[in-house]
Amino acid sequence: MRLFLILMLLSLSLLAAVDAYTSPPFIVRHWSSRLCYDYVDWWSGGHHYEKFRIDKCSNADELVWQQVDGHFGYLKVVGTNGHCLGPWGRSAQPDDDTAIFPHFTCYSSALFTIDDENGYIKHAGGSYVHPYPFNHDKPRWQSDLIIHKDKNINNRFDFVQKNNHNAKVKIMPTPNVSGFWEKITCWLNVHKGELMYSVKVGTSTSSSSTTTHAWEVSFSAAYKIISASAKYSGSFSSTYQQQWHTETTIERRIRIEEEGGTVCIWQWVYTFDQFQDKFTFKALTLLETRSEARPTRIPVGKK
């Protein structure tokens, strides 16, 4: 029985590994210096050493990002049988200026997420990947990547093709998007006069089931995702940019002109789903109906 359980767990882990998303290969190019990173290894005194260091882009080595936990995954060096980049010392909360090295073991501390849109690489501990030295526009020659809690213009990177440095590589796949009318409130047997209600407007995040790090979608990224959607492309409004902030509650009122019947208030909501993470945007797009039946009409956005 014990052997059966072990085999079952092994099979499930193998299936998970097979199903995990892996990005196309890419090289890492520092945004301001236009220098790239390459993998080197050597033996000395019977010990094997590995580095991922700044160099000319013609010498750069490819990485792939392999999804592991929500929007965090391993950065694996292509051609090394799966060696992963990770912080020196294997700490889940590395200190500032901790160097990043390749290792043949992919530890739980070697989880990173990539912001394609803005060019940032973030460690699962909450800090960001930087060139060395910190906050310099040109890294020291053949220096390592480091980790630092701050974020600035000098730790932005491009993710490009090895054989075409002008061609950017899309690391993360496009999230799934859905839109629907969410019921805010309903009143039965209404009377003439005013009715007050509260509505939440803005963005909210929910972590995946396996990580404590919230996933966020920027306004510009959401615009691109929805514009590319066959179903929702005409629904996104330019006014949403002012509403793209942490969810807040506002008070609204409606005036009832006819006695009797039911009045319901509905709000248009978008959800973005990917890797078991969900991001929600509640728009200030409201609809008043005389029925509790959920509306099906997709709103038309303002240009």
β strands within 57-144, DSSP E: 63-69, 72-77, 84-87, 98-103, 112-115, 120-123, 128-131
The verdict on 42 and 183 lying in the same domain is no
Question: How far is it, in rounded angstroms, from Cα 181 to Cα 299?
Answer: 10
Instruction: Give the residue from 156, 10, 147, 36 showing the smallest Cα distance to 87.
Output: 147
176's CB contacts (< 8 A; 6+ apart) are 272, 273, 274
Can you give the CATH number for the domain in which 42 is found?
Answer: 2.80.10.50
What are the angstrom distances between the C-alpha of 57 and each of 49, 109, 257? 22, 28, 70
Question: How far is it, in rounded angstroms, from Cα 33 to Cα 22?
Answer: 28
Q: In sequence order, what are the beta bridge partners of 277?
A: 274
Residue 235's domain comprises 176-289
Question: How far is it, in rounded angstroms, from Cα 81 to Cα 302?
Answer: 51
The verdict on 154 and 31 lying in the same domain is yes
Q: Cβ distance 248 to 237 under 8 Å?
A: no
The verdict on 72 and 156 lying in the same domain is yes
The verdict on 181 and 136 lying in the same domain is no
Edge-to-edge order in the sheet of strand 27-30: 47-55, 36-44, 27-30, 157-161, 164-168
| Rg of the chain taking only CA atoms, in angstroms | 25
The verdict on 26 and 116 lying in the same domain is yes
Residue 187 in any domain: the answer is yes
Number of domain units in the chain: 2
The verdict on 241 and 163 lying in the same domain is no
The verdict on 195 and 153 lying in the same domain is no
| pLDDT tens across the length of the chain (303 residues) | 444 434 443 443 444 444 689 999 999 999 999 999 999 998 888 888 999 999 999 999 999 999 999 999 999 999 999 999 999 999 999 999 999 999 999 999 999 999 999 999 999 999 999 999 999 999 999 999 999 999 999 999 999 999 999 999 999 999 999 999 999 999 999 999 999 999 999 999 765 555 556 789 999 999 999 999 999 999 999 899 999 999 999 999 999 998 899 999 999 999 999 998 999 999 999 999 999 999 999 999 877
Query: Of 116, 133, 168, which residue sits at a domain end?
Result: 168
Query: Of 136, 168, 200, which residue sits at a domain end?
Result: 168
Going by the DSSP 8-state scheme, the letter that residue 211 receives in this structure is -
